């Protein structure tokens, strides 16, 4: 299978393609389901989560599925469930404010519903299934900020002023994360992706102290290939390589071809089209996809993706153009006389 071959840097056909947040609001089929159920229901009911997971596979013939879930299931399993408010995002009514609050973070509810959804999806797809989690620092930031935040100020102040208790929090989250990834893998996830979505808020020494050691622990303890996606971490590439993930996910703020020169050939690269390019005329979308495809042509460890999640107001037609462009690249590549 293209996707697994590429993860193992052994793909000799056209690159596989999937899209972060591919089962999302930009799809009319998703919005139709969402009009009947709220986001929490869609995640918690395995039949719904499975149905949503399959939508982009059916609509676009993606080369990998990713289970429909959320990185905030981990806080939920530790007794801190978020609410998802329309137009605001995830909200936690009682964010963590002091080290004493960590005592209340204990395994409370099961995440078996994610495993159930995976088991429902697996027999229905012929492509690999990706499980996922948020990285401990990113999840910690949601617990401390009580939701999304522009500057993660409370989180940064906590880790700068009381690093010891911040490490305790990361340790609790890391344990729960490893358990949750193993649950997903046991249920049938072929590959897992770790989203360190807020890594861009950390300086280098902070990444070294509060991000990398925990990612390292996760990678070494889960029994499936790991894709590490850390937003804004291209400036610390040497450290990412040291983590030895199977693949590194790149955001759009870099030239993936330049990056490839500095990444060993046994680590795959995933990315990195600017998600906003999908607002462009179809010719521009094709040209921008082809630019990345040409730059990575013949690379056995390249996975085509966006550099971040797809935006909710993108047209499905634009996604079709993207997927077709990647899949047609095979012909150009294989029919080449050179």
In the complex with a copy of itself, the residue whose CB is nearer, 188 or 271, is 271
The helix (H) or strand (E) run that includes residue 284 is helix 282-295
CA 329 to chain centre: 25
The helix (H) or strand (E) run that includes residue 230 is strand 226-230
Question: In this structure, what are the phi and psi dihedrals at residue 90, rounded to the nearest 5 degrees?
Answer: -70, 135
Query: Parallel, antiparallel, or unpaired for β 191-196 and 129-134?
Result: parallel
Q: Does 98 bind a copy of itself (CB under 8 A)?
A: no
Q: Tell which one of 291, 297, 324, 328 touches a copy of itself (CB under 8 A).
A: 291
In the complex with a copy of itself, the residue whose CB is nearer, 224 or 237, is 237
- Rounded CA-CA distance 318/54 in Å is 19
In the complex with a copy of itself, the residue whose CB is nearer, 106 or 204, is 204
Structure tokens at 239: 């450290």
Catalytic residues: 21, 25, 34, 70, 142
Question: Least distance in Å: CB of 75 to a copy of itself?
Answer: 23
Site for a copy of itself in 209-238 (CB under 8 A): 232-238
Q: Tell which one of 205, 223, 264, 337 touches a copy of itself (CB under 8 A).
A: 205
The end-to-end CA distance of the chain, in Å, is 25
Q: Does 180 bind a copy of itself (CB under 8 A)?
A: no
Question: In this structure, what are the phi and psi dihedrals at residue 158, rounded to the nearest 5 degrees?
Answer: -60, -50
Q: Tell which one of 101, 255, 324, 328 touches a copy of itself (CB under 8 A).
A: 255
- Rounded CA-CA distance 241/93 in Å is 38
Residue 64 region, left (φ>0) first, then alpha (ψ -120 to 50), else beta? beta
Q: Tell which one of 62, 219, 263, 277 touches a copy of itself (CB under 8 A).
A: 277
Q: Does 322 bind a copy of itself (CB under 8 A)?
A: no
Q: Point out which residues bind a copy of itself (CB under 8 A).
A: 150-151, 153, 156-157, 160-161, 199-200, 202-206, 232-239, 250, 252-256, 258-259, 272-274, 276-277, 279-281, 284, 288, 291, 307
């Amino acid at each position: 299978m293209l996707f697994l071959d590429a993860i193992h840097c052994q793909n000799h056909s056209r690159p596989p393609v999937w899209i972060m947040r591919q089962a999302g609001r930009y799809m009319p089929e998703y919005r139709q389901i969402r009009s009947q159920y709220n986001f929490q229901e869609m995640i918690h009911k395995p039949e719904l989560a499975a149905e949503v997971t399959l939508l982009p596979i059916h609509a676009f013939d993606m080369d990998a599925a990713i289970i429909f879930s959320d990185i905030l299931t981990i806080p939920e399993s530790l007794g801190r469930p978020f609410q998802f408010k329309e137009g605001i995002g995830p909200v936690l009514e009682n964010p963590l404010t002091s080290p004493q609050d960590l005592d209340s973070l204990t395994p409370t509810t099961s995440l078996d519903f994610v495993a159930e959804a995976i088991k429902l999806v697996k027999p229905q797809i012929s492509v690999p299934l990706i499980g996922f989690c948020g990285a401990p620092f990113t999840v910690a930031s949601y617990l401390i900020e009580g939701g999304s935040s522009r500057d993660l100020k409370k989180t940064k102040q906590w880790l700068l002023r009381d690093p010891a208790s911040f490490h305790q929090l990361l340790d609790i989250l890391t344990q729960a994360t490893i358990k949750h990834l193993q649950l997903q893998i046991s249920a049938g996830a072929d590959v897992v992706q770790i989203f360190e979505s807020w890594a861009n808020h950390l300086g280098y020494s902070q990444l070294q102290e509060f991000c990398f050691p925990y990612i390292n622990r996760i990678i070494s303890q889960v029994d499936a290939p790991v894709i590490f996606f850390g937003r804004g971490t291209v400036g610390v590439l040497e450290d990412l390589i040291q983590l030895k993930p199977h693949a590194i996910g790149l955001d759009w703020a870099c030239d993936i071809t330049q990056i490839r020169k500095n990444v060993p050939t046994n680590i795959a690269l995933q990315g990195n089209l600017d998600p906003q390019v999908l607002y462009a005329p179809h010719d521009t979308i094709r040209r921008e996809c082809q630019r990345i495809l040409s730059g990575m042509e013949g690379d056995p460890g390249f996975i085509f993706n966006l550099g971040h999640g797809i935006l909710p107001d993108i047209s499905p037609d634009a996604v079709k153009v993207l997927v077709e462009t990647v899949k047609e690249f095979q012909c150009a590549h294989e029919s080449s006389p050179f």
